[in-house]
A and B are shown apart, each in its own frame.
Chain A
Amino acid sequence: MKKILFHTGGNLSNMFSRKILIYMRNTLFLLFITAFNVFADDSYSQNAKVNLDMKEVPVAKVLSAIEEQSEFYFLFNAKLIDVNRNVTVKAENAKISDILSAVFKNDNVDYIVYGRQIILSPKNEIKGLAQLQQFAVSGKVTSASTGEPLPGVTIVVKGTTIGTISDMDGHYFLSNVPPNATLVFSFVGMKTQEIVVGNQTNINVALVEEAIGIEEVVAVGYQTKQKSNLTGSVSIISSEQIENRPVARLTQVLPGLAPGLIVTRNNPGRIGTSDVGLRIGGITSRSNPDVLVVIDGVPQESSSVLNTINPGDIESVSVLKDAEAAIYGSRASGGVIVITTKRGKGAKLSASVSSSFMVPHIYRQTTNMFEMFELQEEGWKSTGVTPMFGYPYIFQYIRDNHITFNDVKNNDFKYVIHGNAPFPDCPYLVFGHTDWMKVMYGTAKTQNYNVSAQGSSEKTNYYASVGVVDEGSMLRYGNNSSRSYYMRLKYEYTHNNLIKIGANLALRYQNWVEPQDYGNIQWLAAVKFTFDHPYTPKGNYMNWGGYQNPIGWAEKGGDIKRAYYDLQPQLYAEITPSDNLNIRINIAKNANFTRARWLRKQFQHYYWDDTPSFPSIQPDETQVGAANSFNQNFDGNMQVIYKNTFNEKHHINILGGVSHEEFQYDNINAYRNNLVFSNLYTLNLGDSKEQFNNDSQSEYALNSAYGNIGYSYTDRYNIELTARYDGSSRFAEGYKWKPFFGAGASWIVTNERFIKNLNFKGLNNFKIRATWGQLGNQNSIGLYDFVSRINISQSNLLMGDPSAPVRLQVATLQGLPSYTRTWEMAEKSNIGFDVDMLNYRLNSTFNYFIADNKNMFYQEEFPAVLGTTPPTINGAHIKTHGWDFSLNWSDKIRDKFGYHITFGISDAKTKVISLSDSRIIRYGYNGFVEGYPVGTVFGLVFDGFIKDDNDLATYNNKYTAGITRRLRPGDAKYKDLDNDGILELRPYKTDANGKPTSDCGDLINLGDMERHYEYYSNIGFNWKGFDFEILLVGVGKWMAFDQNPANYAWPWVQPLKYIYGNTWRPDRTNAKYPRFYVVSTDFNADVNTNNYYLSDAPYMRYNVPYLAIKNINFGYSLPQGITKRIRLEKIYIYCNIADFGYLINKMPKGYSPEQPFNSNLTPYPQNYSFGININF
């Protein structure tokens, strides 16, 4: 029999979110438990029955008979127990206990059952005996709701370190229980039960499920806290929300996981990198401070670190939205994401494999050749000019030969026009059809592998994981792949319950190969004419000029090979001199080494007759290059936490600490032109006369001292005070340091007696929170702006004899230094509530916040005679009002069918309160204008299209200046708001009498370009091992401008499909778009400007709300019966669809609403994945 000592003083569960542990409940302690020699009592003594019919026999005989009929045997001291006394027993199918009670009913004898032994002893002495004998309790733990056994339940004798955990079937056995002990049964997600042992030896317990959330433990500023004790607004994302999503990078799973966390992405189809924007809780500064990411207590240099950690290692992610982040002060004004990686607990080995297919989904839709020519003809006609550029010949040729789309779509070189081609330098025109986006992009395969192992014992725990992500590219030609390897090793050792030492090492290596000019290929694939053929009849890269062949560029243009090494070692020590005091020293050094090598190569294009046309680039543009960068940062912090409880009512938590952070950047870049030999990636083979190199180096440092006092009174009131003193090397002497303060309070209303007395069954928890805090920011400003600096660089200016001119080195003086600039400080106030209702099935959170940045970094505008950039000063005041709301309903129908629905929404509006200068309103996008939201756009008021010649004349007469005189019917008209006869791109202003001022113009506020009402919804079901989940993410209001059609009126750009058939014509006067016209050097460039001014015209200004089906997951956990048979703990298989499509999409076809009117990108992909997670 094994005796288990269980030390619970460290409050293990605090380190983990309980929610996560629920998920693990079937698995976590499995191997641990199988190491036991399980004793299954099965309540034998209670239930074993015997038949006896004995008259006047000694007690000893009765006991012998029981021994014979059962597996029990008796232990007793014959000196103390009189067993020779005669008794009569008649029992049929009676419980042993009943028989014993009857036998000894008049004696002063008591008995206890210990295993198969029944110990008889005189009453009152049993206590001593039990101590001597090691009093034992056993039983079974089940779930009250399902009746299923619960493995892994912690059973502890209250007030001691004695404890055990239940086995796979829910059985437990505790051998050394003191009498009158109280057993504490605790299990994540279940209400903890305490049971007084008394004289019971067999205690069966059914644990009641507890609603998630109330006892959640979250990682906040430098420590973990019970969620109920928080005063701030924190959203938690657990590993289970991440685990079943096969993604290459963590940023891909963040959208829609927490209200107020906004994730935007730029070009998701490009592999190897992640161009993601993160924002938490609105704009707090001009500089849009980066979100601070803290991993295992180490603040990271930038949020791009999210791309370098293995999503499989994540235990939990906390999003700190308000002043709760204040403790991280110096870089926290953009909000904080606290990531906790997994830590060894129990013993577990798990593996996961997934395979994904990335399919091109949304991409540029152009007209085909015939539609294009039709539009061109329409354009010439509307311009009133006979077609040029050889167009007439083409139009005639098509008519003469009756060519239709079907005749040319096979690219079979059936129709070729020589000469008179419509495009500059185009000696022929081959009719054909190539859908370049389809040619260039296809399905990509991505594989994900993860293996992790963990273990723990009383003194040590470890977690180790290895992951591989092998990304394939949708680009069908050339070399484009990325393979990332992740490794994490965590080890923790506790010495004498006093000193804990831990090491955490994360390693990433990424190998990423891309065509050297990926951007160019992406662009060519988007804009190349559809009548162009990919290959000549002989299979050469075909191109007559103009847009080059993207296939050639991908295959022969040279590659860039990048390797990233990220090393994140962390060491820490925790000293716990007493239960109340904890000292922690943490040292981390992140090193990032990047190496890139590239070749830029030349290849030959061919005319359709296979004669050489143009090389892709000139020989002196070929290049071999190498770039190395070594960036590192150091973080050291040390803190003391003191916790205590007085009179069981006053809980105090004091934290004090200091930290030092430093950042160093070092980049070297070298290249040679004129490749001598172009297949080796070595500089040595480039032209030594054409070699170039440069470097950049910089560093900055932050020092901080911080403290936090938390006080809770009973379970109802929490108060927190925070103070920081931060220093940054970015400011001048005397301005480096600044203190920041914060405070918060929360009140758990439902724990008030008077509320409890009301006995609201429906209201389980209601908590009101309020925080206020000052958040410093010193991001996004120069590192050395307090120094007047001379920059020396190589210019391209030439001097000297023309036979051998030299490039001049040039010294320039940088902009004016900022001697008095200091930290900008955003004051964030937040008020909110958390509510749980209907037996915790309904949860809701609401926050309203104000971020008030009174000394925002701002570059004042001076008259240009100053001649240089003025310093950025603390000169502006902006204020953001925002809110977020989330609602979650989860329930089970008949204990079998579980489901949940989550909805979250947030919005923020930022207004410029004041600027130290009065910034003038510009046409177009305005960053900051007093009294207006950040990012306000000013434009003209659209007044319809010019209907006919009369209308044109009226319009021309109205304006004396500011409009082009070459407008024609079908062009846009604008309102002359101030009636001065001039169309002016300056704001419309009125004086006190409502009359236009003298400097008035014709621009109005068209709105701001921020995204509003970001929302998401998560709906899931589970039933008998099946689960289904769908995640929707959307934006409610978002303004975008479509200035793109303007570009497609150029003869050498293929118009987009969505304007085809929708342009104004005399016979189509209610069309959406202005007339199609031809823009070339002399024709209509000014008309083009006229028609595509930013305005409120319906073809220009769009509201582009969208709702994306972000993720669909369907999974199945194999029944335990099957998994047990093959000795696995759990098998989960799933299929997942990411970015399936959009339920709401107001964009013209070919555009992703996430990137309005930008279609020159890699197609937006859909992702289909299949995967399996196995726990051994």
Chain B
Amino acid sequence: MKNIFKYLLILIAATIIFACERDLNLLPLTEISEQVYFKSENDFKLFANQFYAQLPGFEICSRDNWADIAFTRNNISNSSYIESEESSLWNDSYSNIRATNILIDKVNSVNDSILKNKVLVYEGEAKFFRALNYFNLLKDYGGVPIVDKVLGLNDKEILYGPRNSREEVINFILKDLDDAIALPLGSLSGSDNEGRITKEAALAFKARVCLFEGTWRKYHQLSSDPNELLTQAIDAARQVLESSKYELFKRTDVLGDESYRYFFILENEVKSNPAGLTKNDQKENILVNKYNKKDRPGTYIAVTSGNLSPTKKMADMFLDKTGLPITHPNSVFKGHGFVIDTVTYKATNIEYLDRDPRMSNDFIPPFTQFWYHIPYDRHYELTDERNTGCFNDGFWTSATGYLVHKFIPEIGGNVGIDYPVIRLAEVMLIYAEATYEKYGSISDVDLDMSINKLRDRVDMPHLTNAFVQANGLDMLEEIRRERTVELFAEGFRFDDLRRWGIAKTEMSMDVKGVKWAGTPFVAPFKVFNPVTGTVVTVDHSLKAFSTDAEGFALLEPASQRQFQDKHYLFPLPLRQLTLNPKLEQNPGWMH
């Protein structure tokens, strides 16, 4: 019995040792508790850094495929899509908005005035990005629920609440942008901070938002006043234009005719252009999404996978060199397609002759040399059979026959070019358009401080009221044309068509490509290869395309394109409607 007692004692002692060795209150070893975070300026900065992942990048380029100026068959372009269960736009936007709400909330609860002053800049960034996300939602969905605080699971009135009106959302966005502009945005010194949101970026973005919604109100006959927004757009744009910080990139002195194109592919790590200019040599970009080869390679629109094929409509939009549309009776336009000299076999792309130089900067004309180093340093310094009509030659693909050149770097492999989120050219176009939309006219002075600067850059004649009148042109159409040409492949066109209220007409036309019938394409032909200096035989005859009456490749007939009124807004994701019965679907959609 004595023994048993002894062992029980040992047992109890051991129990205590076990129980005390380690209790169950274990905390994270590599993460910080929210409660102890947000105590220093750097805490706020690191948190604000995540917002920069929300900036649009090259993926936005392919949004032009949804519109009428570029084509890769998709169900948005031909409006054959039906309601989807989920939407990454919806989900990601609200996830981004939550992050901005957290930061704004944390700044508001800072009591230390010294710290508070230091972190106001991040509040400004948060508000900019919150506005950016709501604008993305507004463009595609119209009014959406406004979440302006960090939601908990018990905030049922918002979680399960109805949509806010379009007007409430735009007001919310503008309030955020005005707040942001008033906050010390861009005040951080040091070259490490170059690239953060500046006051001008916020102003330029505000101008974009106001033009969008102003024209939307106007052309969708909303009861609210368009001019109020157009005025704000003009004011904001003017402030940016008047700032001396930015200027259009024009280095024809060293880059010649291709200066315009090289602007879009400037890199720092490699020699990206014959003059060796780098990103630091431009002052046009107001806000960029930064990439470089090593740490953050970009995925550009890649001709190599046919991601963006310009349509005939886009090609025809480039003016002739006199400033006239090619359809104008006085136009010097020579016609579509190409001809081959029967003696030298040299090809002449008559379509590109005497045109706005931006055409041969944005597109690769057939049978011409162009530089492209495909991955692994193998030099396809120029194409031969790959560029002889440009239909589906392997990866070197175009659905329409027109090959895109804008944003295509000459150095293959990883892409280190920055994506221009906002550039000065757009602000100029906003200024011109908003002015015209507000007043129904635009002065030559205003044109000179906007569109004509863009014309000057590519050595095109000025757009003047006199010229418009003299040639019977429509000023609004010319302003819109300028916008489409200048901002080609930057993802604006689909939104523009919708806000202008002309999508139903424009989107429902035939989608066409290059001239096919009546060109040498239809049979094997000989052509001079400017690289090898030899004549080669090219055969595209087996590439049967249906063509329209005039011989243009017909890629999707109007009959298959059904943009209806309901398509001005996307349907809300069905899953969200099921989760929250108070969310109402956009008009015209079944579920």
> Nearest chain-A residue to B34 (Cβ)?
A788
Contact A802 B268 (CB under 8 A): yes
Q: Mark B363-385, 1 if CB is under 8 A from A, else 0.
A: 00000000000111010000001
Contact, CB under 8 Å: B279 / A808: no
Contact B31 A784 (CB under 8 A): yes
Q: Which residues of A contact B587 (CB under 8 A)?
A: none
Q: Which residue of B lies closest to A617 (CB)?
A: B376
Bound CA span A1016–B39, Å: 63
A130 to B306, CA, bound (A): 107
Which residues on A sit within 8 Å (CB–CB) of B580?
A: 863
Cβ-defined contact, A425 with B374, below 8 A: yes
| B24 with A736: CB separation less than 8 A | yes
Across the two chains, which residue of chain B brings its CB closest to A782?
B28
Chain A proximity of B353: nearest CB distance (Å): 29
Task: Please measure, in the bound complex, the distance between the C-alpha atom of A789 and the C-alpha atom of B376, giving whole angstroms.
Answer: 43
Determine whether the beta carbon of A865 is less than 8 Å from that of B94.
yes
Residues in B whose Cβ lies below 8 Å from that of A811: 37, 43, 46-47, 49-50
Are A867 and B26 in touch, CB under 8 angstroms?
no
Interface residues of B in 5-30 (CB under 8 A from A): 7, 10-11, 14-15, 18-19, 21-30
Query: Which one of A192-200, A557-565, A577-585 is at the B interface?
Result: A577-585
Whole-angstrom distance between the alpha carbons of A581 and B18 in the complex?
21
Query: Could you count the A-B residue pairs with CB atoms below 8 Å apart for me: how many are there?
Result: 275
Q: Determine the distance from Cα of A961 to Cα of B589 in the docked complex, in whole angstroms.
A: 12
0/1 per residue, A320-331, Cβ < 8 Å to B? Answer: 000000000000
Indicate if A209 sits at the interface (CB-CB under 8 A): no
Q: Known contacts A787-B33, A802-B279, A863-B159; is A701 also within 8 Å of B418 by CB? A: no
Task: With both chains docked as a complex, state the minimum distance between the C-beta of A643 and any C-beta of chain B, in angstroms.
Answer: 14
Are A810 and B153 CB-contacts (below 8 A) given A618-B413, A863-B160? no
**In the bound complex, how far is the Cα of B47 from the Cα of A808, in angstroms?**
10
With known contacts A615-B376, A999-B578, A1082-B399, A808–B11 Cβ distance under 8 A: no
A699 at the interface (CB under 8 A from B): yes
Task: Collect the chain A residues with CB atoms within 8 Å of residue B443's CB.
Answer: none
**Chain A neighbourhood of B159, CB < 8 A:** 862-863, 865-866
Asked if B49 and A867 make an inter-chain contact with CB atoms under 8 angstroms apart, the answer reads no
Check: B290 CB closer than 8 A to any chain A CB: yes
Chain B residues within 8 Å of A796, by CB: 295-296
Q: Is the CB of B290 within 8 A of A1081?
A: no
Determine, out of A471-479, A887-895, A981-989, A1007-1015, the stretch whose residues face the partner at the interface: A981-989
Q: Check B91 against A802 for contact (C-beta < 8 Å).
A: no
- Whether B24 lies near A865 (C-beta < 8 A) is no
Q: Does B280 contact A (CB under 8 A)?
A: yes
Does B335 touch A at the CB level, under 8 Å? no
Contact in complex: B413, A797 (CB < 8 Å): no
Q: Please, which residues of chain B bring their CB within 8 A of the CB of A810?
A: 46, 49-50, 53
B residues near A702, Cβ cutoff 8 Å: 24
Complex contact B590–A729 (CB within 8 A): no
Question: B7 to chain A: which residues have CB within 8 Å?
Answer: 575, 577, 583
A806 CB within 8 Å of chain B:
yes
Residue on A with the closest CB to B540? A388
Q: Determine if A813 and B102 form an interchain contact, defined as CB atoms under 8 angstroms apart.
A: yes
Is B395 engaged at the interface, CB distance under 8 Å to the other chain?
yes
Inter-chain contact A797/B296, CB cutoff 8 Å: yes
Q: Is the CB of A863 within 8 A of B579?
A: yes
Task: Chain A residues near B28: list those with CB within 8 A.
Answer: 698, 783-784, 787, 789
A46 neighbours in B (Cβ, 8 Å) = none
Count contacts on A: residues with CB < 8 A to the other chain.
105
Q: In the assembled complex, how far is the CB of residue B324 from the closest CB belonging to chain A, in whole angstroms?
A: 33
Please count how many residues in chain B sit with their CB below 8 Å of the partner chain's CB atoms.
105
**Given the interface contacts A585-B14, A636-B18, A736-B24, does A801 sit within 8 Å of B194 by beta carbon?**
yes
Q: How far, in Å, is B11 (CB) from chain A's closest CB?
A: 6
Given contacts A961-B80, A1082-B306, contact A700 B26 (CB under 8 A): yes
B49 with A920: CB separation less than 8 A? no
Quick one: closest A residue to B150, CB to CB? A867
With a CB–CB cut-off of 8 A, which chain B residues contact A807?
295-296
Contacts of B33 in A (CB 8 A): 787-790
Q: Is the CB of A614 within 8 A of B418?
A: no
A residues 110-135 touching B (CB-CB < 8 Å): none
Residues in chain A near residue B349, CB distance under 8 A: none
- The answer to whether B542 touches A386 (Cβ under 8 A) is yes
Interface residues of B in 122-164 (CB under 8 A from A): 145, 147, 151-153, 158-160
CB neighbors of B among A759-813 (8 A): 783-784, 787-792, 795-813
Q: Which residues of B contact A922 (CB under 8 A)?
A: 85
Using A583-B11, A810-B49, A863-B576 as known contacts, say yes or no to A961 and B82 having CB atoms under 8 A apart.
Answer: yes
Residue B73 at the chain A interface, CB threshold 8 Å: yes
**Cα distance, A814 to B99, chains bound together (Å):** 10
B244: which A residues are within 8 A, CB to CB?
none
In the complex, A412 has a CB within 8 A of chain B = no
Indicate whether A695 reaches chain B with its CB closer than 8 angstroms: yes
The smallest C-beta distance from A789 to any residue of chain B, in angstroms, reads 4
How far apart sit A12 and B418, CA to CA, in the bound complex (Å)?
A: 77
Q: Of residues 80 to 109 in B, which have CB atoms within 8 Å of A's CB atoms? A: 80, 82-83, 85, 90-91, 94-99, 101-102
Chain A residue contacts of B439, Cβ below 8 A? none
Whether B469 sits at the interface, judged by CB under 8 Å, is: no
Tell me if A623 is interfacial: C-beta within 8 Å of chain B.
no
Q: Do A614 and B378 touch (CB < 8 A)?
A: yes
| A869 to B, closest residue via Cβ | B95
Q: How far is the CB of B58 from chain A (nearest CB, A)?
A: 14
**In the complex, chain A residues whose CB is within 8 Å of the CB of B393:** 388-389
The reply to whether the CB of B175 lies closer than 8 angstroms to some CB of chain A is no
Pick the most buried of A727, A816, A1082: most chain B CB atoms within 10 A of its CB: A1082
Instruction: Decide if B98 touches A867 in the complex (CB within 8 Å).
Output: yes
Q: Mark A687-706, 1 if CB is under 8 A from B, else 0.
A: 00010000111111111000
Q: Shortest Cβ distance from A421 into chain B, in angstroms?
A: 8
Query: B99: which A residues are within 8 A, CB to CB?
Result: 812-813, 867
Q: How far is the CB of B158 from chain A (nearest CB, A)?
A: 7
Determine if A802 and B278 form an interchain contact, defined as CB atoms under 8 angstroms apart.
yes
A703 to B, closest residue via Cβ? B24
A1110 to B32, CA, bound (A): 51
Q: With the chains together, A871 CA to B153 CA distance in Å?
A: 9
Closest to A390 in B: B394
Cα distance, A583 to B196, chains bound together (Å): 68
Contact of A864 with B34 in the complex, beta carbons under 8 Å: no
Q: Is B72 an interface residue (CB 8 A)?
A: yes
Closest chain A CB from B90 CB (angstroms): 6
Q: Using Cβ atoms and an 8 Å threshold, which residues of chain A touch B413? A: 618
Determine which of A387, A392, A798, A870 lies in contact with B296 in the assembled complex, contact meaning CB atoms within 8 Å: A798
Which residues in A have their C-beta under 8 angstroms from that of B11?
583, 638, 640
Q: Does A1021 contact B (CB under 8 A)?
A: no
B396 CB within 8 Å of chain A: yes
A interface footprint on B290-306 (CB within 8 Å = 1, 0 otherwise): 11101110000000111
Are B24 and A1082 in touch, CB under 8 angstroms?
no
Contact of A866 with B376 at beta-carbon distance under 8 Å, contacts A385-B544, A696-B30 already known = no
Q: Is A555 an interface position by the 8 A CB rule?
A: no
**In whole angstroms, what is the CA distance A868 to B375 when docked?**
39
Set of chain A residues within 8 Å of B292, measured between Cβ atoms:
798, 802, 805
Q: Determine the chain A residues whose CB is within 8 A of the CB of B575 once the complex forms.
A: 920
Q: Are A1086 and B98 in contact, with the CB atoms below 8 A?
A: no
B472 to chain A, nearest CB (A): 39
Q: Is A74 part of the contact surface with B, judged by Cβ < 8 Å?
A: no
Cβ-closest chain B residue relative to A698:
B29
**What are 19 A-B residue pairs whose CB atoms fall within 8 Å in the complex?**
A386-B544, A389-B392, A389-B394, A424-B304, A424-B396, A701-B26, A729-B26, A797-B53, A797-B296, A802-B268, A810-B46, A814-B31, A816-B153, A920-B85, A922-B85, A964-B80, A980-B590, A1081-B305, A1085-B73
Inter-chain pairs besides A802-B268, A816-B153, 11 sampled, C-beta below 8 Å: A389-B393, A583-B11, A614-B378, A797-B49, A798-B291, A798-B292, A810-B53, A812-B50, A813-B102, A866-B98, A1081-B305
For the complex of A and B, 10 pairs with smallest distance between CB atoms: A867-B98, A424-B394, A424-B395, A811-B46, A802-B279, A788-B34, A798-B290, A697-B29, A789-B31, A729-B26
